Every structure is written in structure tokens, then in C-alpha cells.
């Protein structure tokens, strides 16, 4: 009997990861024989754990917090979007036994916003909250959609300005602090901060959203996040969390590994139901 291909997600913490459910569903749907599990890796031990995984016959890894920079350093070869993001969330073993690093977060989010939600990105004024690794990962694919402008706002204005400068050649990007947002309006606001995880909300002025403005939180949960509740109170035209992004970035990883793209909608629905169960 042929040995079943092994895949995994590395993170810390990892207990609540939905990746095993998602990839198992993808495999069943596409008729792929594989096994996928979650591994908690100790901080400082990523390179050893990843090397051991591939040495033991592993074919691919998803990488979550806090190891995306470690995975970037571990890869033998990087995709253009991984290089621009400065982080890797997908590792794949190539036919030449080299480890290929990619970042599927941004393309996953854009696919969720455009294809699943039906929102427009092209020619829209976009505000991104936060300037950490999560935001850096989405900027390239977002700018590829040619929005009118992208503004990055962060508690530390300098971090937002530095990030804007890094991506300035790819479109109209500016960065600053939250205090510079008063009196401005945006068609799409994306929350890339971790505030939702602690039940907090960035200090946002009112009337930030245009009449047809949409709000997207990269976090997700069984209940609407504080950011989503704020946006609804601001009469956003549409509001969404990032569950679709989670599934779409996983589908992109699956396609890199297996060469087949799964149907994400039934998997998004399945995970959504499991959250409220």
C-alpha cells in the first residue's frame, strides 16, 4: 500500500486551529489521499521541527503565529509574494527536494472579499488598521487590484509610514497614526490589528465609512468582533469577519501542494457551523 502524504500546521498555540478540518475536507472533496495534523512547536525550535518533519517524509506545512518569519528564513526558495510580505505561511517540498516558501494570506483575503462577498476593491479608497506582519502579508495582493488609494493607520505612526514606503512603488499608499483619520472617508476598512482577540477596538473617529462602505475584520469568531459591531453601528453597507480568508488561504496552499483547487464555499459553511455549535 502506498504511503499517505503527510501535511501539518505548525504554531504556538495551535490547539484551536481549524486547519486540520479544512484540509481534511479539501482532501475528501478532491479525492486526494493525505493526512493533515496540527503540531505545537516550541518557540526557538521551529527550524529543527521543520527539518525533522521533511526528513520524515512530510510534503508540506502551513505556518501560523509566531513562526512566519522563521519559515521565511527556513525556505530554500521564496515566491515573489512571500518576499514582498517578508513572511511565509506555506512550505512545500519540491521535486528537487528544495523547500519552497510562499505566502497565501493576501490572495486568500482578496479572493474572499471579491469572490465570496462580492465587494469591489478596484478604484476604492481603502483603510487598513495595523502595521504588523498580517498587514504586510496582504498589501501586495491588495494593491494588485488597483484601488484608488490605500491608507495604513497604526498606533505607532512610524511603523505605518515605513510599511507604506516599502509598498509605495506598487500603488498609492500612505501611512500614519489613528489621529490623522478624522474628517476622511473610506470605501473599505480592513482591521489587521489583533485588537479583536482581546475584545478591544482601535481609536477610530466616527463617519469613516462612505455611504457604500464595507468593513472587514481579518479575525473571526462565533460572535461579531468589536470592530464588526463598531462598523455596523456606523451603518456600514456590509460587514464580514475573516473566516473566508482563513479557508481561501488554505485552498491556495492546498493547490500549491496538490495541483488542484478545492471548492471553498461548502468548507466555509462547515467551519461557520462548527463555530456556532
Catalytic positions are 68
Any binding-site annotation on 131?
yes
Any binding-site annotation on 56?
no
Q: Are the C-beta atoms of residues 99 and 71 closer than 8 Å to each other?
A: no
User: Which SS3 state, helix, strand or coil, does residue 256 take?
Assistant: helix
Any binding-site annotation on 158?
yes
Any binding-site annotation on 211?
no
Nearest 5°: CA angle at 36, between 35 and 42? 135
Any binding-site annotation on 18?
yes
What is the DSSP-derived secondary structure letter of residue 114?
I
Q: How many Cβ atoms from other residues are within 10 Å of residue 175's Cβ?
A: 24
Q: Are the C-beta atoms of residues 143 and 126 closer than 8 Å to each other?
A: no
Any binding-site annotation on 90?
no
Residue 150 burial (C-beta neighbours within 10 Å; 0-12, 13-18, 19+):
buried
Q: How far apart are CA 131 and CA 112, in angstroms?
A: 21
Any binding-site annotation on 130?
yes
Bridge pairing between strands 209-217 and 186-191: parallel
Any binding-site annotation on 144?
no
Any binding-site annotation on 40?
no
Bridge pairing between strands 90-93 and 77-78: unpaired
Task: Region of 134 please: left (phi>0), alpha (psi -120 to 50) or beta.
Answer: alpha
Any binding-site annotation on 185?
no
Bridge pairing between strands 58-63 and 90-93: antiparallel
Any binding-site annotation on 242?
yes
The C-alpha cell 453601528 sits at 233
Any binding-site annotation on 176?
no
Any binding-site annotation on 216?
no
Any binding-site annotation on 31?
no
How far from each other are the two terminal CA atoms of the chain, in whole angstroms? 38
Any binding-site annotation on 17?
yes
Binding-site residues from annotation for NADP(+) = 130-134, 154-159, 218, 242
Binding-site residues from annotation for shikimate = 17-19, 64, 89, 105, 220, 249
Binding-site residues from annotation = 17-19, 64, 89, 105, 130-134, 154-159, 218, 220, 242, 249
Amino acid at each position: 500500500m502506498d504511503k499517505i502524504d503527510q501535511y501539518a500546521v505548525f504554531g504556538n498555540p495551535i490547539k484551536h486551529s481549524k486547519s486540520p478540518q479544512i484540509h481534511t475536507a479539501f482532501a475528501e472533496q478532491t479525492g486526494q489521499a493525505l493526512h493533515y495534523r496540527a503540531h505545537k512547536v516550541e518557540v526557538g525550535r521551529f527550524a529543527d521541527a521543520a527539518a525533522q518533519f521533511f526528513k520524515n517524509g512530510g510534503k508540506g506545512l502551513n505556518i501560523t503565529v509566531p513562526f512566519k518569519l522563521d519559515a521565511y528564513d527556513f525556505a530554500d526558495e521564496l515566491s515573489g509574494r512571500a518576499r514582498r510580505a517578508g513572511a511565509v505561511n506555506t512550505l512545500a517540498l519540491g521535486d528537487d527536494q528544495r523547500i519552497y516558501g510562499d505566502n497565501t494570506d493576501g490572495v486568500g483575503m482578496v479572493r474572499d472579499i471579491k469572490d465570496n462577498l462580492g465587494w469591489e476593491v478596484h478604484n476604492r479608497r481603502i483603510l487598513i488598521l495595523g502595521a504588523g506582519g498580517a498587514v504586510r502579508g496582504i498589501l501586495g495582493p491588495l494593491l494588485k487590484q488597483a484601488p484608488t488609494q490605500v491608507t495604513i493607520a497604526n498606533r505607532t505612526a512610524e511603523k505605518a509610514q515605513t510599511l507604506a514606503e516599502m509598498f509605495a512603488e506598487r500603488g498609492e499608499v500612505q501611512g500614519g497614526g489613528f489621529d490623522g483619520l478624522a474628517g476622511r472617508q473610506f470605501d473599505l476598512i480592513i482591521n489587521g490589528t489583533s485588537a479583536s482577540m482581546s475584545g478591544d477596538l482601535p481609536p477610530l473617529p466616527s463617519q469613516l465609512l462612505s455611504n457604500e462602505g464595507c468593513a472587514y475584520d481579518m479575525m473571526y469568531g462565533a460572535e461579531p468582533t468589536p470592530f464588526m459591531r463598531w462598523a455596523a453601528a456606523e451603518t456600514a453597507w456590509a460587514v464580514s469577519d475573516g473566516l473566508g480568508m482563513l479557508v481561501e488561504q488554505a485552498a491556495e496552499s492546498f493547490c500549491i501542494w496538490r495541483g488542484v483547487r478545492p471548492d471553498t464555499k461548502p468548507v466555509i459553511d462547515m467551519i461557520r457551523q462548527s463555530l456556532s455549535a
